[in-house]
Amino acid sequence: MASKGVSLKVKGKSSASKSKGSSSSSSSDEKSMCKALKDWSNWGLKKAKVIAHYGFIPLVIIIGMNSEPKPSLSQLLSPV
């Protein structure tokens, strides 16, 4: 499946509708800050997805090992 070129647009006022007193450098600073925020949030969500994916089953096994009555590892992993 071919992916389409999707770009995320920044919501809010455009630089044309800002007051005359604001400079273009502040607009570029806002854009770079918004891009940095998107990059960091993307990075964090990707890491959280990997942690949740590979950490769920070991977490269940650890919780099962610490419950009463204490089962052996083979009892935890067997389907019966």
Answer yes or no: are the C-beta atoms of 65 and 57 closer than 8 Å: no
> Pick from 77, 44, 79: which is nearest to 58 by CA?
77
- Fill in the DSSP letter of residue 15: G
Q: What is the mean pLDDT of residues 34-48?
A: 95
Q: What is the mean pLDDT of residues 36-40?
A: 94
pTM: 0.47
pLDDT value of position 7:
58
Pick the residue with more confidence: 9 or 36? 36
**pLDDT tens-digit profile of 42-75?**
999 999 999 999 999 889 888 888 888 888 888 8
